[in-house]
Structure 1
Amino acid sequence: MPRTKKRIALLGIYHETNTFSRQPTTLEHFKSSFWLEKDAITSEYRGAHHEISGIIEVFEGTGDFELVPVFYTAAIPGGLITAGAFQAILDRLFELLDETGPFDGVVVVPHGAGVAESHPDMDGHWLHLLRQKVGIDVPITGTLDPHANVSPLMVSVTNGLFPYQTNPHIDQARAGRAAGRMMIDILANHKKFSHRLLQLPLAISIEQQHTSESPCLDLLQAADSIRSASRLYSISLLLGFPYADVREMGSAFILIAESDADVHQAERQLLAYVSEHLSHFNGKKVHIQELIPDFAEMEKPILLLDMGDNVGGGSTGSSTYLLEALDAAGLSKTFICLYDPAAVQTLQKSSEVPLSLRVGENSYPIRPKSYRMIEGKFKELSPRHGGFVNYDMGESAIVKTVNGQTVMLTSLRTVPFSMQQLLAYDLQPETFDFIVAKGVNAPIAAYRDACKQLVKVDTPGDTSADMTRFKFNARRTPLFPFEEPTNEAFRVV
């Protein structure tokens, strides 16, 4: 009996890889984070704010399509994915694809900045293998994180990719809906599209990537105006991920249209805008020592964004740099979360408050006044960066120091994307003068309602705000702010 519904596969491999991190990302990191097969995918994300949630919403809202969840795995950002881990993931993905197929279309959920030891363009590689597997007549649409470093290969083997357009990422479900609707346009409405990548001679500095503020807000508004005037299906900005030494590193646009002529005109206008405003995309870096004199006059609590130890960018989340500076300045009432499994174990075994405890990557000594153990799990039901619902910090401890600081110690690295990290354990943000968040823009969505002031602090680490401090061997040139591009760099190829 012939099938009446078109079957759409849903699958993804998701990782933001920091090639400057010394800690490799292993298969265990994926399996202990998100390793979801078949119906476990829809159970995790139905009704949430993730891109998969948007994809589910589109296809479950139509009677002509059947969404078949196949495989999705993600790991917290970190160092290079080991060759063995990537191969094991590929083996399982294609095993499940064979088991659940055939399909009329595939919706994919890559991050876009994945780097494996064996394949620098990891996402391009697995999407290319997928294209070979399903053939040229099966459409592939999908989503991307705007921090993707998109390669020409990724675009050439897919029909349409839609990055989220907010940072913090709170429009992920919208991007998922866009990918789903394009699939329906192709299969049900028989539309054909031109899908192009426009790489810019620019890597937008990380502290400039807040999309609700200039210069990114202005760039997005200009792109939307160009899209409307050019009658394009979509124009999407890719901020890029500066902590990956790959050819594709840098900012870009993805353009989708039903006419190549419309695309070329839009490309010229986008390049002209970027050329005119180039200097706006490299912001001022501010150090903690410069800020301390101003804290007395600032309304509390102050959110200190620890850019050099950005967990969401692949850092360890174990730097005590800001804690040490605040202690040295005699500033207390701070909340800071540190990844330190060894310190958690020490407190688990202790029958009384230790006289001293060394925490973080530099073994900074603190003197606990009291502490309590917690299970480390919490939920976030509102739209926040990442779209996650369930968080697990592992066995954790909350330490009150004699200096008046509150140090949360975790046994699993945890991204600071939800204020429930505090609220679930009876920590009220308004009782602190300083909240240190290990991120740049992502924590803003979580803390903007509670923190009267936020400050992006240039700190040392694997995600230092000044990308020119890192040694790149593979990036393309010219690329601002490393070089000043010539007029030739802004010509449409």
Structure 2
Amino acid sequence: MALRVALVGIYHESNTFVEGLTTLDDFKKGHYLKGEAIRKEYEGAHHEISGMIDVLEQAGIELVPVFFAEATPGGPVEAQTLDFLLAEMLEGLKQAGPVDACLVVPHGAGVSQNQVDMDGYWLAQVRQQVGPDLPIVGTLDLHANVSPRMVEMTNCLVSYKKNPHVDMRQTGEEAARILVRMLKREVQPRQVLIQPPLSISIEQQFTSQEPCLSLYKRAGELASRPGILSLSILLGFPYADVPEMGTSLLVVSDDRIDLATEVGQQLESYLIENRKFFVGARNDVFQALEIAERNPKPVLLLDMGDNIGGGSPGNNICILEGLLATQTLRYFVCLYDPEAVQTALSHAIGDSFELSVTGTVKEGVKKLPLAVRLVTISDGNFTEAAARHGGQVNYAMGKTVVVEVGEGSLLMITSRRVPPFSLNQLLSCGVEPAQFDVLIAKGVIAPLAAYAPVCQTVVQVNTPGVTQADMTQLGHKNRRIPLFPFEEV
């Protein structure tokens, strides 16, 4: 009889500085999948689940997809929503019948109303149900804030190694291969968590450039030592005010706790010695626009304070106001504003009218009146087949409009928050990226996988908001101390 492996996951990146909670409706608008619907969504995609499917199939092991729920990053998960999702997961796991192992897909930076360490909590519930001896192996987002409980409740966790996350499928493959070797009794994973006293600044987390480039090179050298099965650098998610917030190292050895600890401590020493390189220089809006004026076009302006992939509202208008003030650059901006969408839908394509958008600025929320012409109305659905950050295939922005503002500048307004991980977000609405001087993407590193091929210049913009680049200004109360750059270490 073939071996059977269950697959379960609750996946959310929770920003505790965001007002409001992530609800069951948010998960159902994201991905709320049971049974074979999981395989149908991800088979052949660029996602960790896709890699898991492939490896088990090649090994002749039956994958039993049970439950996977994922919502766009936002505020902490509502208590009753977590209770519901977990009950659905555990019941599905029970109904799946006897299994030989379990593959798990947490994010690693999940927080709920009633469980600060949300991922550690649901992993513990899975462990309790399947028993102490059943192998549990899984993946983590590179931005995980890893808790000791998450490590204790699993045999092996493996994180993405690239930001933007274009290696999710490969990460799923790595985790599944370790699980297969466990089931064949070829290896006995032992994992060690090391939490250096620092948190890497978000704008310095581009793994293809310094300072991360040298960090990952050093990690690769250490991971090649005999007996090391996996080495993960969790750069961390600074927008969750939890004790685990910060950079972590997760080293998995073949039954050698001493070796895993030694390797982790060597990499920790490298991080501490080079800590000051992991805090970057920052450009405000007008500095960024000056750079855009004098550099090759199109220019990608990364709106760091309104990083939808980090849980932000998606409606910061600081860069838009700067562009309106200078009036020298043709631009594309996308904003989340369901009310403005409904107002625009009362007009016909080609109509000119005044439209007020509701946006956030440093001082709070304001209405910004604009003279616009309605260009496009869309259902907001699009797909992405290439390897892009997040690895998702199907996207839904809700009812979406595109309006022209001034001569040749376009504003896309959506009914749902969708992070800028795919150029098909624009192309599906008839927007050609190459026609602009400036494109604004609400993110920090993640949009580069999609936008870098069409943008000759990239500028990170230090905008205000719940994902602002300077984490020391957010007002953490629960983080560990000392932690660089909050304190010197």
Using the TM superposition, give the Cα deviation of residue 372 of structure 1 relative to its aligned residue in structure 2, in angstroms: 2.1
Residue 288 of structure 1, aligned match among 272, 281, 285: 285
Q: Secondary structure at the match of 1:270?
A: helix
Using the TM superposition, give the Cα deviation of residue 143 of structure 1 relative to its aligned residue in structure 2, in angstroms: 0.4
Residue 11 of structure 1, aligned match among 8, 13, 17: 8
8 Å contact from structure 1 (residues 37, 69) kept in 2: yes
Q: Secondary structure at the match of 1:449?
A: helix
- Which residue in the other structure is 1:66 paired with? 62
- Which residue in the other structure is 2:74 paired with? 78
C-alpha deviations, 1:303-358, integer Å up to 9, x for none? Answer: 00000000000001111110110110113310011011101101112357353111
Residue 342 of structure 1, aligned match among 325, 339, 344: 339
Answering whether residue 113 of structure 2 is matched by residue 117 of structure 1, we say yes
Q: How far apart are the structure 1 equivalents of 2:109 and 2:51?
A: 21
Q: How far apart are the structure 2 equivalents of 1:285 and 1:126?
A: 38
Q: Secondary structure at the match of 2:221?
A: helix
Using the TM superposition, give the Cα deviation of residue 61 of structure 1 relative to its aligned residue in structure 2, in angstroms: 1.3
Q: How far apart are the structure 1 equivalents of 2:193 and 2:319?
A: 40
The residue type equivalent to 1:58 in the other structure is V
Using the TM superposition, give the Cα deviation of residue 60 of structure 1 relative to its aligned residue in structure 2, in angstroms: 1.2
Q: How far apart are the structure 2 equivalents of 1:453 and 1:402?
A: 23
- Which residue in the other structure is 1:371 paired with? 375
Answering whether residue 446 of structure 2 is matched by residue 450 of structure 1, we say no
- Which residue in the other structure is 1:301 paired with? 298
- Which residue in the other structure is 1:489 paired with? none
- Which residue in the other structure is 1:355 paired with? 353
Q: How far apart are the structure 1 equivalents of 2:300 and 2:340?
A: 25
Residues 385-396 of structure 1 aligned to structure 2 (within 5 Å): 385-396=389-400
Residue 19 of structure 2, aligned match among 18, 22, 27: 22
Using the TM superposition, give the Cα deviation of residue 213 of structure 1 relative to its aligned residue in structure 2, in angstroms: 0.5
The residue type equivalent to 1:333 in the other structure is R
- Which residue in the other structure is 2:214 paired with? 218
The residue type equivalent to 1:177 in the other structure is E
Using the TM superposition, give the Cα deviation of residue 451 of structure 1 relative to its aligned residue in structure 2, in angstroms: 0.2
Residue 415 of structure 1, aligned match among 416, 419, 427: 419
Using the TM superposition, give the Cα deviation of residue 430 of structure 1 relative to its aligned residue in structure 2, in angstroms: 1.0
Q: How far apart are the structure 2 equivalents of 1:291 and 1:19?
A: 28
**TM-score scaled by structure 2?**
0.96
8 Å contact from structure 1 (residues 58, 177) kept in 2: yes
Q: How far apart are the structure 1 equivalents of 2:132 and 2:370?
A: 60
Residues 396-435 of structure 1 aligned to structure 2 (within 5 Å): 396-435=400-439
Q: How far apart are the structure 1 equivalents of 2:172 and 2:288?
A: 40
C-alpha deviations, 1:90-111, integer Å up to 9, x for none? Answer: 1111111111122110000000
| Pair 1:315–1:228, CA change in 2 (3 A) | same
Residues 104-253 of structure 1 aligned to structure 2 (within 5 Å): 104-229=100-225, 231-253=227-249
C-alpha deviations, 1:166-201, integer Å up to 9, x for none? Answer: 000000001101111111111113421211111111
The residue type equivalent to 1:198 in the other structure is I
- Which residue in the other structure is 1:436 paired with? 440
**Structure 2 spans left out of the alignment, 5+ residues:** 360-365
Answering whether residue 272 of structure 2 is matched by residue 275 of structure 1, we say yes
Q: Secondary structure at the match of 2:228?
A: coil
State, as a whole percentage, how many aligned pairs show the same letter. Answer: 46
- The size of the alignment, in residue pairs, is 481
Answering whether residue 329 of structure 2 is matched by residue 332 of structure 1, we say yes
Q: Secondary structure at the match of 1:367?
A: strand
Q: How far apart are the structure 1 equivalents of 2:328 and 2:109?
A: 38
**TM-score scaled by structure 1?**
0.96
